[in-house]
Amino acid sequence: MGQNDIDVARYEKMEYARCGRSGLKLPRISLGGWHNFTEFEKTKELVCGAFDLGINHIDMANNYGPPPGRAEEVLGEVLKKDLKGYRDELLISSKAGWGMWPGPYGDFGSKKYLIASCEQSLKRLGVDYVDIFYSHRPDMETPLDETMGALEQLVKQGKALYAGISSYDAARTRLAAESLRGGRVPLTIHQPLYHMMDRWIEDGLLDAADDIGFGVIVFCPLAQGLLTNKYLNGVPKDSRAADPDGFLQESAVTEEMVGKLQQLNSIAEECGMSLAQMSLKWVLRDKRVTSALIGASRLSQIEENVKVLEMDDLSEDVLNRIDKVLGY
């Protein structure tokens, strides 16, 4: 793919939102490489196709694969071969905090692990810096100031432009922001799990975003595919829930759950949406949510998800009906 192959109208197709009170803007839909960036041609299609739609934010982590590190290597090849002239238009993030290599320094939140991991991610991606580097999860055994100090060092060295955290609760998020602020590096972004069946961030974290001024990019807005049409009749053999080693377990797709999904799907159809589109519209209803982070195995899924930005907001009646189905 060359310079002339990228859609010149890409930025007219996407909405962008300011990330908290920073200068950074994110597309309302961002693309993650958790499971699906393992083969070059497939990754090229997804990343370049998303970029054509105005999705200029690609979210990665050191352990994405399989095997760990593979996703960053493949994305690095796409950046080198197909998007070489577009680095300044792209927002690329990475993270460290989950298990990456053997021994005591390849997991959690020590300064040694985070600094080494960022260096390795830069090499795999073939870039001089990442735009955002996250502490991927809280580490209750490492002093918070040490973990935040590693993020501060990376920002001040120019290896990351912005500091982020993922999956920290509201109280620890406030402490992390205070620690970073002491080094004159703001907490720019938080990446939590959030979807209509798991609303934990509404209990303090969104208020912290308001108070402190960081943005929120939510992962798993479709509940690992549960909030799509895939499970309306149970568990398909080729689904993630059918994989015993998968994040979504078959035991979660109970008869009661299928009944709820069917009710939600009926509401979505009345709104002229797919269940996935309604689920994305639901997480984006709160303006404190800067972006929804999606995964995709096909470009058509990304195209369907982006269409939600052209659709009307969910009415109060629809929101109340969703709450009733889910017992809120």
Reported pTM: 0.94
What is the residue-wise DSSP string for 196-251?
A: TTB-GGGTTHHHHHHHH--EEEEE-TTGGGTTSGGGTTS--TTSGGG-TTSSS-GG
Residue bearing the bigger pLDDT, 4 or 261: 261
CA distance 31 to 75: 12
Mean pLDDT, residues 264-275 taken together: 97
For residue 41, the tally of other CB atoms under 10 A from its CB is: 9
Mean pLDDT, residues 308-314 taken together: 97
The residue whose two tokens read 């993270």 is 95
Is residue 72 over pLDDT 90? yes
Provide the residue ranges of all domains of the chain, joining segments of one domain with +: 15-229+276-312
Residue bearing the bigger pLDDT, 239 or 199: 199
The answer to whether 227 touches 196, Cβ cutoff 8 Å, is yes
Specify the pLDDT at position 238.
59
Is residue 236 over pLDDT 80? no
What average pLDDT does the structure give for the chain? 94
Q: Which tens digits make up the pLDDT trace of 189-225?
A: 999 999 999 999 999 999 999 999 999 999 999 999 9
Mean pLDDT, residues 3-8 taken together: 75
For domain 15-229+276-312, give the fold: TIM Barrel (3.20.20)
Specify the pLDDT at position 242.
46
Specify the pLDDT at position 35.
85
Q: How confident is the model at residue 310 (pLDDT cuts 50, 70, 90)?
A: very high
CA distance 126 to 72: 9
Is residue 235 over pLDDT 90? no
Specify the pLDDT at position 231.
83
The answer to whether 120 touches 61, Cβ cutoff 8 Å, is no
CA distance 178 to 186: 9
Is residue 259 over pLDDT 90? yes
Specify the pLDDT at position 253.
82
Mean pLDDT, residues 93-116 taken together: 97
> Which pair of structure tokens corresponds to residue 135?
């502490």
Mean pLDDT, residues 5-18 taken together: 93
